[in-house]
Amino acid sequence: MKRFSICLLLLLSATVSMAQSHGSDITSPFRLWLLNNEARVFSSLATDEILTGKVVSPFSLLPPTRLQTGKAEEKLWETHRKIYVLLDETQNIYSVARKYGNGRFAVITKQARPETWSLMPLLAATPEIIRTVSPLFRKTFHNTLLKSMNLDPERDIDLSARLNKALKKLSDEEFRLMNDYFGTFAALFPSDPSIRVLKSFIETGSRKPFGTGLKELLRPSVEPSAPTKVATAQAAEPDDPLAELEKLAQFDAGLTDSINPDPDSKADEKQPATLEPPPPGTEDLFNIWD
């Protein structure tokens, strides 16, 4: 019975993780469709070339032709390669925005404070060392964390600009072709929601900023000297890790609408618009709460 329960649990967790990964993957169905069509056309063109090559030289006195000719379809495949690069970039941007764009992860890392906890044993003996070492610890931890998450502050600080930069690599004509493909895919597979999300994400994301909660993660507003303050005055209110964790727990539980429910807090005014859940009944692209 226990074995059965474990198997069932594993199966359920696998299903949930698959569903989650599928939900964040908005480019694969379209990409596979285009790749599959390309493969079918490659096969047909190659077969036809072999067959027509058998009659294109009518006379037996003609030696095997060695003249190479240009192929217009190569330009089309080149455009497709550009589209694939754009899809990769779009998927990456979407995943980053979905994972970190709400700012929750920034709050968690803000509270991790390894420089505080790791230097705690030195607090009693040599508090002067903490003052100089802790900013370095914080900076190193932050840089390592960003690297491990494949985030680049320069690149990811403005995801909308990053998306626009990727879109500019396509010419107007190439962009129009991609939109035509999106339309065809949507018409052929109306039950597939990924193409609607992808299309809307490209259209909306290139116009208005999104994932603004990422800014706090990439360039935290906390002063490097703050840990020292925390070390000396553990109960300092705004940077109290435990207090913030409590707020976060309340927010996760749905007890509060915002991570910083205090109406007087200036930090609350700076929270990105995406932190607000969309009105009921409307599909929000940047809904990263579920």
Partner 1 sequence: MKRLRKPGILILLLIMATCAGAAEIKYAYKKGSTYSYRYTQSTSSKSKAFTVSTAESSPPVSYDFSVKSIDFQDGAFILDVGDKAATYRRYIRENGEIKGAPAEAGQGIPFFLTFPEGDWKVAEKRQVRKSLSLGNKDVMAIWSLLLKSVDNEKGLAEILFTANLSLPEDQLRQKGFSLKGRVVFNMLEGVIHQADWQTTYKFNFSNKAFAITRNLWVFEKQSSHTLAMTGIQE
- Chain positions contacting partner 1, by CB under 8 A: 37, 40-41, 44-45, 47-48, 50-67, 69-76, 79, 173-174, 176-177, 180, 184, 187-189
Compute the least distance from the CB of residue 37 to partner 1, in Å.
6
Round to whole Å and give the CA distance between 84 and 38: 12
Compute the least distance from the CB of residue 148 to partner 1, in Å.
41
Round to whole Å and give the CA distance between 53 and 140: 64
Compute the least distance from the CB of residue 83 to partner 1, in Å.
11
Cβ-based nearer residue to partner 1, 53 or 277: 53
Cβ-based nearer residue to partner 1, 81 or 229: 81
Scored b (16 or more CB within 10 A) or e, 59-90 reads eeeeeeeeeeeeeeeeeeeebbebbeebbebb
Which amino acid appears at position 221 of this protein? S
Give the residue ranges of DSSP H helices in 53-148. 73-100, 104-112, 114-118, 122-125, 127-148
Cβ-based nearer residue to partner 1, 187 or 253: 187
Compute the least distance from the CB of residue 82 to partner 1, in Å.
13
Cβ-based nearer residue to partner 1, 89 or 192: 192
Could you give the 3-state DSSP secondary structure of residue 259?
A: coil
Cβ-based nearer residue to partner 1, 48 or 223: 48
Compute the least distance from the CB of residue 199 to partner 1, in Å.
16
Contact call for residues 206 and 163 (beta carbons, < 8 A): yes
